[in-house]
Amino acid sequence: MAKFKALPIAAAVATVLVAMSASAVEFHGYMRAGIGQNADGGGQVCYGNGGAYAHAVGRLGDECDMYAELTLGQEVFNRDGKTFGVVSTIAYGTHESGPGEGGVPQMGSQGNSWQAQGGESSSPWEGGRLSVREMYATAKGIIGDSTFWAGKRFGQRKDIHILDFFYLMNSGTGVGFDGLSAGPGKLSFQWNQANTGDGGPAFPDFDWSNAPGQNHPDMDQDVVNGGTNTWHRTNKLDVRYNLPVGSQNIDFVAIYGAPTLTDLQKDNGAFDEAGYLAQVEWTMPILGGFNKLSGTYATNGFADLRDAFWGLNYATWLGEGEGYGVINHGLVKFGKKVEMAYVLKYTNTDLDSNGWAESESYSAVARPMFKWNDVMSTALEVGYDNVDWNGTAICDGNLCGDRHQAREGGEDLFKVTLAQQWSPLQNGGFWARPQFRLFVSNYSGDRAVKEAETMFGAQVEAWW
């Protein structure tokens, strides 16, 4: 029988274990799921959804979908101060019906216990939405002390959790670096791209009779099938600087976006104006928590600051105009038992293209939470939102072209939600997750839907 030396074997095993620990996979994620009921019968009706239109009066008790993001990351190389890694995020969500005619919300769709991916219908059995939200690689130690990256990623998003609203999210495919030491602060930069392919108001003066992609008999069929000239390709340059000032921070953001057009698009009057977005945000500690105050000014494709992700895409179909907004939000603590998240938001948008006009909005939402013990709490979310329209065109609950009747005047919405909650409060307080909830909500105001004012249900939310 062969004899083995224990020391070399032990050394080899130790080397493998060290290598495995250095390249361990990191697993992060987010999820929410729940059930809801209309007190007047039928399914739960939601007055907002996450993302572009957000929850203007707060998200607590106003989420009809199931949604999850699963993130896997791994460091694949680490030597001599240089590291390389990869990150991926896959997201899944059930279909939501979204706003209906005249902006009336619709109930969420729920199917059976098996929901496949695929399909564009809102049928609860036909499938869900599956997306590769992120897929990028990172490298440290090749550009100073920054993290270099390339691929598709979220990109230093800024959000208000209680609204599920991202007020700065210039996400997408690109390349750049984060956190490069420059003077007293940190510099970040990215170059990414976006496409706009709306065949209506995207080209307000476009002569479609000569445009490929419209099955014109004089056009080469390969070009027609590709439809390459019906899209805007927009390049965006994003520069950010974070300046620490004692216990506080000031973020400066500047984004420039401009479409790059084909000769055919230029000849047919496709929109070619550049857009700009500038934002300054001041973050400071307050009452055991934090407060963030930001001001944003934007033009053209960045100008719609009321609903859309601020800086998500340079949407060239918006046309010419400007917008500005102010947000103040944060979290404060009152002793050991009470914490409160809050937001005050004001926006003003003036767009002059294809039926768009002025809108002014302001909203206030507060969610105080009382902790009964280490696992049980009660939350009360109160929200108010008002939008003043000035001839802005509306269709299907969304802003659209002048072929639809314009809406004028002010419209408001008021919500009160009471929720009983269970979560590991000693491990994060207000932010402790997973969190189980039983809730009841009541809506009133101009945008409240008759026989859809009171909802109740149960939900779980988690991140890790």
Q: What tokens were used for 179?
A: 């956190």
**Residue 315: pLDDT band by 50, 70, 90 thresholds?**
low
E strand or H helix that includes residue 161: none
Question: What phi-psi label fits residue 453: left (phi over 0), alpha (psi between -120 and 50 degrees) or beta?
Answer: alpha
- Residue 209, classified by CB atoms within 10 Å of its CB into exposed (0-12), middle (13-18) or buried (19+), is exposed
Q: 292 versus 315: which is more confidently predicted?
A: 292
pLDDT for 234 equals 84
State mean pLDDT over 413-429.
95
Query: In whole angstroms, what is the distance from residue 213 CA to residue 191 CA?
Result: 28
CA distance 408 to 164: 27
Q: What's the mean pLDDT in 377-385?
A: 97
Please determine, for residue 115, whether its predicted confidence score (pLDDT) is greater than 60: yes
Number of neighbours of residue 58 by Cβ within 10 angstroms: 30
Long-range contacts at 450-453 (CB < 8 A, ≥ 24 apart): 451/38, 451/40, 452/38, 452/40, 452/45, 452/105, 453/39, 453/40
Whose CA is closest to 312, among 54, 45, 2, 4? 54
For 361-378, what is the mean pLDDT? Answer: 97
- Cβ-contact 132, 98 below 8 angstroms: no
Task: Please give the Cα distance from 397 to 102 (Å, whole number).
Answer: 5
- CB-count exposure of residue 134 (10 Å: 0-12, 13-18, 19+): buried
Report the distance separating Cα 241 and Cα 252, nearest Å. 5
- On the question of pLDDT at 424 being above 80, the answer is yes
Indicate if the alpha-carbon torsion angle 428, 431, 434, 438 is positive or negative.
positive
Structure tokens given for 13: 């095993």
d(CA 318, CA 39): 39
Q: Is the pLDDT of residue 455 over 50?
A: yes
Kindly report the pTM of this predicted structure. 0.85
Count the alpha carbons within 13 Å of 49 in the hemisphere toward its beta carbon.
22
User: For residue 24, what pLDDT band results from cuts at 50, 70 and 90?
Assistant: confident
pLDDT computed for residue 368 by the predictor: 98
| 402 vs 419: CA distance, rounded Å | 42
Q: Is the pLDDT of residue 67 over 70?
A: yes
- State yes or no: pLDDT of 210 exceeds 60: no
Contacts 24+ apart (CB under 8 A), 113-117: 117/92
pLDDT at residue number 208: 45
Confidence category of residue 293, pLDDT binned at 50, 70, 90:
very high
Choice among 84-98, 209-223, 261-275 with the minimum mean pLDDT:
209-223
Q: Residue 330 above 80 pLDDT?
A: yes
Give yes or no for residue 278 having a pLDDT over 70.
Answer: yes
E-assigned strands of 224-265? 232-245, 248-260
Q: What's the average model confidence in pLDDT over 309-328?
A: 69
Q: Which two structure tokens, joined as six digits, stand for 118?
A: 């695929």
* Residue that wins the pLDDT comparison between 98 and 56: 56
pLDDT given at position 166: 87
Domains of the chain, start order: 24-463 (2.40.170.10)
Q: Which residues of 384-396 are buried (b: 16+ CB within 10 A; e: fewer)?
A: bbbbbbeebbbbe
pLDDT tier, 129 (very low <50, low <70, confident <90, very high otherwise): confident
Residues 150-159 have a mean pLDDT of 92
- The overall average pLDDT reported for the chain is 80
